[in-house]
């Protein structure tokens, strides 16, 4: 038996605009003023592909990358220096602590228990998360005077904003608590602002900002409108073109009934790919040479139907673009911009 034949191309692909990704980092770096700008590349760079994103961001000038789990860090060791990678969930086990010590990846200490685990493993350069009001990971200010914290060699002292996309008093309170933590704990750099936090101004920038969403095309605040470009463009192939008669139903439960004879395209895209049922009934739109092709009926697991009226030249095997600019797609679907990115499934070739 001969060698296995090469797999044919996938019927779904995610086109990533590398120039837009680099430009978004540079725009956020400029908005960050005197602070350096890092990059959250957790969750496979919010779904666009960390192995694709990290080299682009590093070439643009980024030198700080934030992931959630050790396996995410392992995926990009070699694309970035281990000392440039921070593990946000920290040494959640002795095994993670030992692995980080061996590789040089920085852990983020989130609790006294993690501090003790890190020091028991031999310690070393680390980051420290302080909870200033989001009540997720991080030490409360009341624990920053603990002797364990005094033994840490802290590079980045960080906190995380809960409502930076809104103009609320909590932002000011969190900033003040972060400043208090900066006075309490020796550290090399301080970091508070996520994507939206960058737009809140210099008081929130510290030494290092940590954008995520806006790197990949998200616009969480109006100040960023026009500065952030779309990065991810989902594409799907037409599997079949059908002619249907007036009165025929389309898809499960026949939620769309053809009012007249129609030409319909069956497209390789469904909720198993992250294109959820909220796009049913015309809310979802695909594009062919600038022409809008609305989704007909219900989104299925592996396919959708689109109206090919006005697109008589579409044939089986042609590629359609999903209309997916994040702010507009969020408004149309009710999904957050974060969800829209991270929902895009593994069946998309990136």
DSSP state string for 84-135: GEEETT---SHHHHHHHHHH-PEEEE-SHHHHHHHHHTT--EEEEEB-SSS-
Q: Cα-Cα-Cα-Cα dihedral of 163, 164, 166, 171, to 10°?
A: 70
- pTM for the model stands at 0.95
pLDDT at 204 over 60: yes
46 noted as active-site residue:
no
pLDDT score, position 6: 85
Contact 20, 231 (CB under 8 A): yes
pLDDT score, position 2: 57
Q: Which of 42, 271, 323, 324 is catalytic?
A: 42
pLDDT score, position 287: 97
- Report DSSP state, residue 169: H
State the burial class of residue 36 (Cβ atoms within 10 Å of its Cβ: 0-12, 13-18, 19+).
middle
Contact 293, 285 (CB under 8 A): yes
pLDDT in tens, 170-182: 999 999 999 999 9
pLDDT in tens, 262-299: 999 999 999 999 999 999 999 999 999 999 999 999 99
pLDDT at 223 over 80: yes
pLDDT score, position 7: 82
pLDDT in tens, 96-153: 999 999 999 999 999 999 999 999 999 999 999 999 999 999 999 999 999 999 999 9
252 noted as active-site residue:
yes
The percent of residues in the chain predicted with pLDDT above 70, rounded, is 99
Q: Which of 51, 204, 252, 271 is catalytic?
A: 252
The two beta strands, 232-244 and 319-322, are antiparallel
Question: Which pLDDT band holds residue 5 (cuts at 50, 70, 90)?
Answer: confident
Contact 164, 194 (CB under 8 A): yes
Domains of the chain in sequence order: 18-220 (3.20.20.10), 232-342 (2.40.37.10)
């Amino acid at each position: 038996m001969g060698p296995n034949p090469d797999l044919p191309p996938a019927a779904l692909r995610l086109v990533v605009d590398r120039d837009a990704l680099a430009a978004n980092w540079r725009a956020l770096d400029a908005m960050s003023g005197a602070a350096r700008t890092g990059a959250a590349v957790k969750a496979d760079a919010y779904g666009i592909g960390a192995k694709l994103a990290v080299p682009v961001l590093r070439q643009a000038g980024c030198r700080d990358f934030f992931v959630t789990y050790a396996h995410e860090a392992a995926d990009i060791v070699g694309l970035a220096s281990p000392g440039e990678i921070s593990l946000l969930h920290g040494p959640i086990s002795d095994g993670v602590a030992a692995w980080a010590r061996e590789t040089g990846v920085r852990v983020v200490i989130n609790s006294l228990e993690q501090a003790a685990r890190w020091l028991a493993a031999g310690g070393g350069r680390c980051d420290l998360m302080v909870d200033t009001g989001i009540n997720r990971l991080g030490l409360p200010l009341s624990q920053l005077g603990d002797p364990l914290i005094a033994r840490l060699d802290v590079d980045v002292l960080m906190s995380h904003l809960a409502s930076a996309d809104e103009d609320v008093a909590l932002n000011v309170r969190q900033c003040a608590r972060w400043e208090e933590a900066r006075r309490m704990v020796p550290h090399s750099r301080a970091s508070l602002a996520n994507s939206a936090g960058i737009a809140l101004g210099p008081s929130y920038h510290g030494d290092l900002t940590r954008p995520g969403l806006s790197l990949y095309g998200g616009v969480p605040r109006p100040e960023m409108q026009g500065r952030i470009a779309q990065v991810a463009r989902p594409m799907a192939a037409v599997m079949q073109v059908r002619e249907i008669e007036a009165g025929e139903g389309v898809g499960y439960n026949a939620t769309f009934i053809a009012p007249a004879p129609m030409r319909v395209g069956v497209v390789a895209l469904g909720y198993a790919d992250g294109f959820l049922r909220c796009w049913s009934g015309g809310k979802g739109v695909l594009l062919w040479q600038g022409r809008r092709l609305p989704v007909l009926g219900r989104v299925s697991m592996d396919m959708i139907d689109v109206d090919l009226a006005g697109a008589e030249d579409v044939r089986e095997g042609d590629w359609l673009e999903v209309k997916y600019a994040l702010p507009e797609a969020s408004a149309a679907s009710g999904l957050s911009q974060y969800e829209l990115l991270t929902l895009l499934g593994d069946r998309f070739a990136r």
